[in-house]
Chain A
Amino acid sequence: MATPPLGPLYVGIDLGTTNSAAAVFDGERVSVVRNAQGATVTPSVVRIDKQGRTTVGTRARRFIEQDPANTAAEFKRLMGTDRAIDFPAAGAKKKPEELSAEVLKALRQDIQDQLGVAVERAVISVPALFELPQSAATSEAARLAGFARVELLQEPIASALAAGWRADDDGGGTWLVFDLGGGTFDASLLETRDGLLRVVGHDGDNFLGGRDFDWVITEHLASQLSVVPSRKNPEHAAALRALRLAAEDAKIELSRGDRAQVTLAQPLAIDGQEVEVDLELTRATVERLCTPLVDRALEVCVRLLKANGLGPGKLAKIVLVGGPTVMPIVRQRVAAKLEAPIAEGHDPMTLVAQGAALYAATASLDGRAAAAAPTTGRQVWLQYPAVSSDLTPHVVGKFIGAEPPSRIKLVRTDGGWTSPEATIAPDGTFLMSVTLLPRRACTFELVATNGNERIAVSPPAITIVQGLTIGDPPLSRTLGVALANGHVQTYLERGAPLPARRTFTHHTVETVARGSKESVLRIPIVQGEMSQAHLCRLVGTLDIGGDTVTETVPTGSAVEVTIELDRGGRLAARALVPAINQVFEHVAHLLVPDAAPEALDASIRELRRQLMDLRTDAFRHGLTQVIEKLDHLEARLSEAERDIDAAHGGDADAAQRARRALLDVDATMAEADLARKWPELEGEARSLAIAASSTVGLHGSDAERALLQDVLAAMDKARREKDAAELERQMRLAQRLSSAAYNRTAEAWEWYFESAASEVSRATDLPRAHKLVTEGKQAVDRGDTESLRKVVKALWNLLPEDSESRKRGFDSGVR
């Protein structure tokens, strides 16, 4: 066993769909951990034999063909679902997170074998667009693997950090990380300036990856056999699996040579016949088959560049990540289309793990649990960045206990720098700055004194690494609460730094009767970028049940909801009902919904029908942009159809892909529908611009007026570019500014009151509503705007939402 390193040890793990890898960072150097076979990547494959023994990695992968029933691969795609995977020989059933835990255990053991340290903390990378249940399942896998603490990091950020860390020129420029993994494609636009890495923009395709490359090759090979196997037929699954493994090997071989022979030792059994496989595959054929897939990834990149005002040729460099990027066709087409050099010297297979290890240092997550070293001397509590892009960061400290030392200084152990002596305040606190050496780990000794007497201090020294840093991890998808009107109240916007916490006050739309089990008020928590709840994903619910409330909660009661996410994206939510002074905390963490093939069939039929209606309408009105958008959707639906076929054949992974694809198609159709209403929207925008200018001009502050100018300019740009979604977004901002200014006037509240009072017959509590109307009228007569505002808000809470809206809002019980 190796001698454990003395300094810090930061661990990063790339838990991939096809392969996984681990890397460690000691403060100065990143090293990739090798497994027992001496390889830097470990296949994410688990086998359980009839004796119940578990095998992971290359040894398990060898059994995919021989013993597919007891060998599982690509289970990462099922993370967060309740789909258990069968191992019939051992009579075992394992959840996807349990299988991921086996891979993590193997990597943890590799680290221990190589470095002699049983690590307990690590950073694990997850795809940028992972949903909350998938992230929660990843954390659970780590826990099962024996990790005491993990943080999750988005893969594109990990690769960017690793690529940027080695960058010699800190001069910046914008660069692109092209990450084509086993199952997903991510494109991230980044810039480094002043040692700080910033993600400028991100786009991706959750349904494009190396496995798609393997499938097109597999289908090509299958089409050449005497009996053609079908993905729709569960009995052909074994033959297709064998063919796919051969296709994958041939693809790798063709990255170097021009020809590969695809020969299987055993004939395939298809429909009771023995089919020999001995085919030749050329690089030209593979390139012809894969070009449309590469171009699909390039379309995403061009879209990302355009969204950030960049054209081809404007990138400083491109960093390639993921196994499929080793293919020469990928490198050639990417460099040619984006007119930028490919950064050399990065290992596309382990870059993510290396970035995760670097990030562990940024997050001060030493792989070893804090050693229970005997404390000698006065204890001091210190706060400083473990990694700093700043050459002169601050160190903040506080001595524990009474009568702290009077002065302190920090001495860099290379002897090149000593801080001036700082005075320690009577409460034990002090603040000083240190000078670091560029791109080095610097250790500082703490020298505390009382008069001339040196006081021993614990800890006696600290280490700070100077290098590229990235701020807090950003939230990948907007998080909010679905409301009874079918809309979403955004809590945390995409990109918000984690950890994050936000509270909003809602009002109940129905009564929760004390003691009644049937009476449950639902607060649905959703993730997604759309303002309509049904186009977002439901990720959890907070229930206030009649059997848990201490008193009946009447309609219109205030509910203060707090949503909290930790650095790893784990969700916690709580609701306080002030009327009964009770807090509800139990969030039902939903699983990723099950994707039954029959339900998918029904969804795709409905989407096709809607697509046809939209297309007819778009042709009738000559809306070219909408037609283009819909053409793209047609292709997506055809792909989803193929996946649904495979789902009928028992492929659970394909079923999940299809489910997500259909949800995305639905959201894109909502956008296309918006574009279809363009003339109407444009008219509305014009009226809004006039109204907002007048309101903000009359009642707004200087800053509101300045901001409205920006918003109007953005509206104009969106109008010229015929970008309906952006125009709608800017219109919401203009509306908000206008409302803020208008709501300061007495006239506004009189108008709201008249409007609410006219609907009073629909109120859920008529006597209370009538009483409020009377109070409102009195407030109008008195000219008492403050009271009128309270009456209007109370009235709004008594007006019901229609049942259709509530259904779209996941039966939300709040507004």
Chain B
Amino acid sequence: MNQIAENPFFVLGIGVDASRIEIEREANKLLGMLELDFAGAKTYLTPLGPRPRTAESVRAAVAALRDPYQRLVAEVWARHAPASQVVAVEPEAPIDDATEGARRALGWRP
């Protein structure tokens, strides 16, 4: 897991001091919004730029934050993340439309 780009706190858009109930509530809300195709739920902000948010990434984030050790690690990374630094996302190598379509069908996340 990329500890910054896929940090559970960034995925859920919550602070490192969020309580368990707040985490569950936020995750349920995001899962509902993603299911109903809310545009605002489809991306989340990270110090490396915006990332696509999926139901899987939300579920994985909640599961990680339920485990005290994984939560601690996520907190360390979230605290040390260069909050204000905006890094240009490296452009992806051009790929043809058909391959891109197949990749998306397979659930590939850039």
Interface, chain A (partner B; CB < 8 A): 193-196, 198, 381, 383-385, 388-390, 392-398, 429, 431, 469, 471-472, 474, 495-497, 499-501, 503, 560, 562, 564, 574, 576, 578, 581, 583, 701-703, 706-707, 710
Contacts and interface: CB of A to CB of B under 8 A. Distances in A.
A194 B19 CA distance: 10
B36 A381 contact: yes
B20 A394 contact: no
Contacts of B60: 496-497, 500
Contacts, number: 113
A564 B102 contact: no
B36 A702 contact: no
Interface in B19-64: 19-21, 24-25, 28-29, 31-33, 35-38, 56, 59-60, 62-63
B36 A389 contact: no
The majority secondary structure among interface residues of chain B is helix
B81 interface: yes
Given A194-B21, A394-B28, A574 B106 contact: yes
B31 to A, nearest CB: 7
B19 to A, nearest CB: 7
A453 B20 CA distance: 41
10 contacts: A383-B31, A383-B33, A394-B32, A429-B36, A472-B63, A497-B63, A574-B106, A578-B99, A703-B4, A707-B73
A794 to B, nearest CB: 15
Given A431-B33, A496-B63, 11 more contacts: A194-B19, A383-B31, A384-B32, A394-B25, A396-B32, A471-B66, A562-B107, A576-B99, A703-B76, A706-B76, A710-B73
Contacts of A198: 66
A139 B106 CA distance: 24
B106 A562 contact: yes
Given A193-B20, A581-B98, A576 B106 contact: yes
B106 A497 contact: no
Nearest to B72: A710
Contacts of B107: 501, 503, 562, 564
Contacts of A472: 59, 62-63
B106 A503 contact: yes
Given A431-B29, A581-B98, A710-B73, A383 B106 contact: no
Given A576-B102, A581-B99, A503 B108 contact: yes
Nearest to B25: A390
Contacts of B103: 560, 576
A503 to B, nearest CB: 5
A495 B107 CA distance: 21
A501 B36 contact: no
B108 A562 contact: yes
A495 B63 contact: yes
Interface string B56-99: 10011011001100000100110011000000000000011011
A394 B22 CA distance: 11
Contacts of A388: 28
A669 B81 CA distance: 43
A730 to B, nearest CB: 13
Given A562-B107, A703-B77, A499 B28 contact: no
Contacts of B21: 194-196, 389-390
A686 B99 CA distance: 46
Nearest to B76: A706
Contacts of B66: 196, 198, 471
The 6 closest A-B pairs by CB, nearest first: A383-B32, A396-B32, A497-B63, A394-B29, A703-B80, A562-B106
Contacts of A581: 96, 98-99, 102
B108 A474 contact: no
A560 B36 contact: no
A471 B32 contact: no
A146 B11 CA distance: 40
Contacts of B73: 707, 710
A729 to B, nearest CB: 13
B61 to A, nearest CB: 9
A501 B38 CA distance: 22
Given A500-B56, A576-B106, A429 B63 contact: no
A390 B80 contact: no
Contacts of B67: 495
Given A503-B106, A581-B99, A396 B38 contact: yes
Given A431-B29, A471-B66, A501-B107, A383 B24 contact: no
Contact of A703 (B3, B31, B102): B3
Contacts of B106: 503, 560, 562, 574, 576, 583
Nearest to B3: A703
B77 to A, nearest CB: 5
Contacts of B76: 703, 706-707
B20 A474 contact: no
Contacts of A576: 99, 102-103, 106
B14 to A, nearest CB: 14
A383 B32 CA distance: 5
A707 B67 CA distance: 17
A62 B9 CA distance: 58
A578 B36 CA distance: 32
Nearest to A429: B38
A503 B109 CA distance: 8
B36 A397 contact: yes
B6 to A, nearest CB: 12
A583 B24 contact: no
A156 B89 CA distance: 44
Contacts of A384: 28, 32
Nearest to A583: B102
Contact of A474 (B56, B63, B109): B63
Contacts of A562: 106-108
B55 to A, nearest CB: 8
Nearest to B56: A501
A196 B20 contact: yes
A560 B63 contact: no
A583 B109 CA distance: 17
Given A431-B33, A581-B99, A703-B80, A471 B62 contact: yes
Interface centre among A389, A497, A581, by most chain B C-beta atoms within 10 angstroms, is A497
Contact of A390 (B24, B35, B62, B102): B24
Nearest to A425: B38
B77 A560 contact: no
